Amino acid sequence: MEKTGLGKHLVLLFISIFLVGMGFSIIMPVLPYYAESMGANAFQLGMLITVYAICQFIFAPIWGAYSDRMGRKPVLLIGVLGFAVTFILFGYATQLWMLYPIRIAGGILSCATMPTAMAYVGDSTSLEKRGQAMGLVGAAMGMGMIFGPAVGGLLSTISLSFPFVFAGLLALANAVSLWLWMPESLAVEQRVVRKIERASLLEGIHSPFVVLFVVILFASIGESIHHGTFALFTEAKLSFTARDIGWAFTAAGVGSVLVQGLLVGRMINHWGEEKTASTGIILMGLSFVLFTFTFNIPSSIAFMVVFSAGVGLIRPSISAAVSKRTQGTQGSAMGILQGYDSLGRSIGPALGGFMLDQGLKLGYYTAIVVSFIALAVLLIGTRLVEKRNLPAET
């Protein structure tokens, strides 16, 4: 932050990410019940989450590259406004089929937010502060997720649709604050003038970051299997309500804030990004084992803290590793990373919903296997990269 003097504006960015996190997490305990009220089964719910993630997978690299050319602020505004409008429309849907095109539009637009926010941080921080700042972005999202699920659970007592409308209105207020007070972080002379196109994920396969991209892919599959099945799993096993689910996700937000705000920067500085991410994957995989033994609300809250601690270490450490080793095109690099992240999120919910329809615990068994694959790729891949001495630039 000292590098550019944008410290106070990074605070505004973190507040904005907090509001995005809150708006997103408000609907997390409600969405399964909202979709069920329109006749959705576990697989259809998974597909509802999957189509959103598929659009993020396709369009996040485009928005990242676009921000390298046009600047960060307009792309951030597109993402937040898209989030706002589509969530409000979602709350006014009356049939199950209507939810899908609205989610598709939301996925296309809202995915502009996170890769651009991370690129904004990359523009505005020194290499020494980069890991800490990335952790604070995650902590801001986690802080939003502390309040969001509890608020969503409470608002669901008004109606199942009201939390979606409230989240959209919150995003509108967020967009206004960005428009009024957020400065541009990317100077005109630093912008990359080129044709705007989707950065192919094949570039990731051929880049020095291939291990990191594959790890985030599998980690996101595991994470989204849990997000897509937790409510239906606990409803079937223990008759949890939207309010019960809300308290569990609130606990996840607490764990995420503590880890990303207090620990991740120090762990990255002391251990490095790869070891920090490995620790996170182990914790996430352990939480999936624990979830199969959930027996009441307190146990689900405790296991959710373990889960959020793991996820809270994975994403910022991977983001910091890519950012530190990228020169010039932060937006494109973060867009490709977000693309792999979104690809995982597109696979996980449908896979988890399908497995849940086959057997109550099969979704979590699948997530355990996926976590093991992510850990193996990171450990083995990192050693191979070190041996081959691949360049640390894109």
Q: What is the pLDDT of residues 12-49, one digit of tens each?
A: 788 788 877 777 778 778 888 898 889 888 888 888 88
pLDDT of residue 294: 92
- What integer pLDDT is reported at residue 4 of this predicted model? 39
Question: Hey, where are the domains in the chain?
Answer: 7-182+199-388
Q: If pLDDT is split at 50, 70 and 90, which confidence band does 392 have?
A: very low
Counting residues of the chain whose pLDDT is more than 70, the rounded percentage is 86
Q: How confident is the model at residue 3 (pLDDT cuts 50, 70, 90)?
A: very low
Return the DSSP state at 198: P
pLDDT at site 289: 96
CATH of domain 7-182+199-388: 1.20.1250.20
What are the structure tokens assigned to 291, written together? 């979830």
Of the CA atoms within 13 Å of residue 199, those in its CB half-sphere come to 29
In 3D, which of 130, 126, 123, 133 has the Cα closest to residue 188?
123
More confident residue, 134 or 308: 308
pLDDT of residue 6: 42
pLDDT, tens digit, for every residue of 333-359?
Answer: 776 787 788 788 888 988 998 999 899
Report residue 375's pLDDT band, with 50, 70 and 90 as the boundaries.
very high
Residue 2 vs residue 231, higher pLDDT: 231
Pick the closest to residue 343 from 246, 198, 233, 208 (CA basis). Answer: 198
Reported confidence tier of residue 157, pLDDT bands at 50, 70, 90 = confident
| 61, 332 contact by CB (below 8 A) | yes
pLDDT band at residue 366 using 50, 70 and 90 as cut-offs: very high
317 with 130: CB under 8 angstroms? no
Angle at 107 between CA 102 and CA 110, to 5 degrees: 110
